[in-house]
Amino acid sequence: MQKRILGPNLEVSAIGLGCMGMSSGYGPPADRNEMIRLIRASHDHGVTHFDTAEAYGPFTNEDLLGEALRPIRKQVVVATKFGFDIDPTTGARTGGTNSRPEHIRQVAEASLKRLRTDCIDLFYQHRVDPKVPIEEVAGAVRGLIAQGKVKHFGLSEAGVGTIRRAHTVNPVTAVQSEYSLFWRGPEKELLPALEELGIGFVPFSPLGAGFLTGKIDENTKFDPTDFRNLVPRFSPQARKANMALVALVQAVAARKGATPAQVALAWLLAQKPWIAPIPGTTKLHRLEENLGAVNVELAAADLQEIDAASAALQLEGARLPEAALKMTGL
């Protein structure tokens, strides 16, 4: 597995593993023992970057990852997130965002226990909290770094202005946001700013929440608890309209002897050397397929073809529900 550097010195596998879908988001939780085997198998295949959050489950995903990685903890990078009000007993959301410094410290202690570790490698603010100045957030994480409980500070779905302000208080190692051929919003302002500041980028939903694999069409039925039921871009009408993008990726994949998922991930890897996507899966054969993207070479002509053809498409539907979009800085 190839390696990449986030920020000044955080080395991760070129492709990581997003673990959210093992516990929430895409339907009922997967079998715990199977997911432990999958996480360990991913490491056997060279993955060293694992992404979770207290909000996934809530809490259960961190616990799952902690158990799975316990035998190999010193060989991997574990990223988790803070920033929401969640009842520690019931796991219910008791409010919106919460990045008060005392809350950040409480979340860190709880996450350390669930992850069965003494240090969090990468600690993200999950969503910007409009009630707490980002300087206070960065200062709280800086304190955790000074105590040896956190190694690196990250931001998720933050705008460029917020990133710059945070970076002056404590260096930001990585920013995590949605990015793929299905949604290219970060290209206008975010990616140039990250390159200027020397901050790594971790795209989530690098396969467009599954859409770019070619396994989803307008007739696909999602589980009632699947978040995609609420996403405008995943309405049946939008899916039907957006299949033109899938056809484009499939055509390149056929020519390259690869799968659409591999082409979509290879395209991301080709954008910048400091981009390290975290596709998620609950299936070993999909994991192996995704990791195979590092062996797919897209020449400059391929990238130009993809860019030109995709630029001519008018994708339909917002990437998130309106309420969720308001919580992002992009």
Spatial distance between the Cα atoms of 112 and 56, rounded to a whole number of angstroms: 15
Answer whether 6's CB lies under 8 Å from 173's CB.
yes
Query: Comparing C-alpha atoms, which of 26, 57, 52 is closest to residue 39?
Result: 52
Pairing, β 3-6 against β 10-13: antiparallel
Q: How far apart are CA 84 and CA 125, in angstroms?
A: 9
Question: Helix H segments across the chain?
Answer: 32-44, 60-69, 101-114, 134-146, 160-169, 190-197, 236-256, 260-271, 284-291, 300-311, 322-325
Annotated active-site residue 179? The verdict is no
Give 291-308 as a DSSP string: HGGGG----HHHHHHHHH
- CA–CA distance, 3 with 115 (Å, rounded to integer): 23
Active site residues: 56
